[in-house]
Amino acid sequence: MSILKDAISAQLGGEVQFIEGYQHPARTVYCSVPREKFVDAAKAMKKAYALLVAEWAADETPLGRGYAIFACYRWGHEYLIVKTEAPAGAPEFPSLAKQFLPAWRFERQIQSLMGVTPLDHPDTRPWIKFEDWPADAWPLRKSFDSSKPLPRVEGEYQWIKAEGEGVYEIPVGPVHAGIIEPGHFRFQAIGEDVLNLEERLGYVHKGIEKRFESLSWEEGARLAARVSGDTTVAHGLGYCMALESMAGCDVPERAHWLRALFLERERIANHLGDIGAICNDAAFAFMLYQMMRLKEMLLRTNHQLFGHRFIMDRVIPGGVAADIDPAGREAVLSELDMLSGDFERLVVIYDENPSLEDRVRNTGILTPEKAREICAVGIVARASGLNLDCRIFNPFPPYDQYDRLELGVPVMITGDVHARTWVRIQEVRESVRILRWILEHLPSGEIAAPCGTPAPDKAGFAAVEGWRGEIIYWLQSGPAGEVNRCMVRDPSSVNWIGLEQAIHGNIVPDFPLCNKSFNQSYSGHDL
């Protein structure tokens, strides 16, 4: 029984083929449709109220096929992946940009990096790839030789223009005054009112997806942990879970629980930092220093117990590489007592300061309608009324014990800076509770199982709730069982569009506050 499966069958009838051979976690449906029906499939999904999760292409020439284009949809707990093929001689596919807004950038990215053209796409400018690359350099294709330097060519990015009396442009970045990642924001403004904001990203493109293809499966886990440094646990976990689903690896119960422990510690640390940074952008520095103090406490405990401040490389294929002993358990529990005590006092200060409240309320509103339209995920989605959380909808142990764990997912509908901050505050509380619960009920046993390598021509898929939101990994093995393609979709890939929408109707000096409340990853987006 699957809503999405029924919806696509009803629309396309016999033309959709369900594929069983690819191994996936339960509830992920996999099907292929003819190229000309790709848009019809999207329409059926739209009608069924599904959201687009990701769209990507894979070069399947080593497997004796052409290019494959995938679109992944989500409805509640169900994932449906629609595949269509384009022959190597005619690398084109019909664009979904008119059905699903995030396809806009996904498809520009496919065009830029894989050289497969979305037909009827309204925007043919490159994305992530820069103009000084030759137009026919498509790094994700198998024929691309990444060891050779590329010639530089001339070119200029065409920005969206706004004209009229009093309209002026403010280019910001890519290098910013603070210690943050590079990205370019271009504002068109009248006085202080923002007419339009256009983002341009890609400055930290490192060729990560291509790099996966030259690594072994085990090395891939280490690379995945470095996709976005602040989300190292969730990214490592996403990769490992996708790999385990392909290789048919059985992860021990205790390892699952420890993974959840790492994930929640990462969530708390990042949320603490974000709450402080949001207040600091409203010049309420007190909050920043207090929150950073709590975050630092957490990171030091991480280092002491697990050997790394951010718990990097502690999630490995088949399990985890760090365990917790009874003394460590006590250390975490007493740390949590101290943390939640201080945290609650700070929340009162945040909540009862009218000058701060005036800044964060009604600023940078992303309406629930727009959040749906851009298929937002994670904290951004939950602050705008979308009830999405992979820990509920796509759980691994211990999250699957709904009745015992009673995981609460905070959802706000106002979609402003305050909502995004408050969702974080609620999640910190919830994560502290989950951590205590995990430590209390942690099962004993092994912490890792041997993980084999996948069979040739298989695909693996995983969705993990990182602290920013849903992280998607899709892996495909080649003819010799090696990595043929690794697709990474950080929550930032969709949520960055939300920032462009949320700034409408705001004034220029409120942008940093809006931006900080989103706090999306540049690295995870640019790959």
Q: How far apart are CA 45 and CA 26, in angstroms?
A: 20
197 vs 412 by CB, closer to another protein: 197
Task: Map the footprint of another protein across residues 191-230, applying CB under 8 A.
Answer: 192
Residue from 279, 316, 380, 471 in contact with another protein (CB under 8 A) = 279
Taking the least distance from each CB to another protein, the nearer of 281 and 427 is: 281
Helices 417-441 & 253-281 angle (0-180, nearest 10): 150
Q: How far is CA 374 from the centre of its chain?
A: 14
If one asks whether residue 171 binds another protein (CB under 8 A), the answer comes out as yes
Task: Out of 167, 172, 297, 347, name the contact with another protein by CB under 8 A.
Answer: 172
| Contact set for another protein, span 348-377 (CB under 8 A) | 353, 355-356, 358-359
- Per-residue x/- mask for another protein, residues 447 to 476, rule CB under 8 A? ------------------------------
Interaction of residue 330 with another protein, rule CB under 8 A: no
Nearest-approach distance from CB 147 to another protein, in angstroms: 39
CB of 286: closest distance to another protein in angstroms? 5
All residues at 6 or more sequence positions from 102 whose CB lies less than 8 Å from its CB, including other chains: 52, 55, 374, 375, 493, 494, 497
Distance, CA of 311 to CA of 328 (rounded, Å):
15
In the complex with another protein, the residue whose CB is nearer, 63 or 172, is: 172
Buried-exposed string 353-364: b where 16+ CB fall within 10 A, e elsewhere:
beebeebbeebb
Spell out the residues 6+ positions from residue 193 whose beta carbon is closer than 8 angstroms to its own: 505, 506, 507, 508
Structure-token pair, residue 425: 């505050």
Report the amino acid identity of residue 296. E
- Single out the residue of 281, 427, 430, 465 in contact with another protein (rule: CB under 8 A): 281
**Count of residues engaged in binding another protein, rule: CB under 8 A:** 30
CA dihedral angle for residue 112, residue 116, residue 118, residue 123, rounded to 10 degrees: 20
Which of helix, strand or coil describes residue 20?
A: coil
Angle at 298 between CA 179 and CA 524, to 5 degrees: 45
Stretch that binds another protein, among 77-85, 146-154, 164-172, 365-373 (CB under 8 A): 164-172
Cβ closest to another protein, residue 169 vs residue 218: 169
Nearest approach, Cβ of 180 to another protein (angstroms)?
A: 9
| 512 makes contact with another protein (CB under 8 A) | yes
Smallest gap from residue 359 Cβ to another protein (A): 5
> Quick check: 509 binds another protein (CB under 8 A)?
yes
Distance CA 70, CA 26 (A): 19
Task: Check binding of 282 to another protein (CB under 8 A).
Answer: yes
CB of 458 to another protein, least distance (A): 48
The CA distance from 397 to 250, in Å, is 12
Does 290 bind another protein (CB under 8 A)? Our answer is: yes
* Nearest C-alpha neighbor of 142 from the set 209, 223, 216: 209
| Structure-block tokens of residue 54 | 């990701």
How wide is the angle at C-alpha 232 spanned by C-alphas 458 and 465, nearest 5°?
A: 70
Closer residue to another protein (CB): 183 or 385:
183
Nearer residue to another protein within complex by CB, 193 or 446: 193
Q: Tokens 């820069």 — which residue?
A: 130
Q: Is 168 in the site for another protein (CB under 8 A)?
A: yes
The answer to whether the beta carbons of residues 204 and 136 sit under 8 Å apart is no
From the list 32-40, 126-134, 286-294, 393-401, the region that binds another protein by CB under 8 A is 286-294
Residue 177 Cβ, how far from another protein at the closest point, in Å?
4
**Alpha helix locations (H) across 311-442?**
326-351, 354-360, 368-373, 378-383, 390-393, 402-405, 417-441
State the nearest-atom distance from the C-beta of 49 to another protein, in Å.
Answer: 37
Please report whether residue 511 would count as binding another protein according to CB under 8 A: yes
In this chain, which of 67, 73, 93, 284 binds another protein, going by CB under 8 A? 284
| Shorter beta-carbon distance to another protein: residue 18 or 168 | 168
Task: Select from 8-16, 20-28, 44-52, 176-184 the region that touches another protein (CB under 8 A).
Answer: 176-184
Residues at the site binding another protein, with contacts judged by CB under 8 A:
168-172, 176-178, 192, 279, 281-286, 289-290, 293, 353, 355-356, 358-359, 507-512
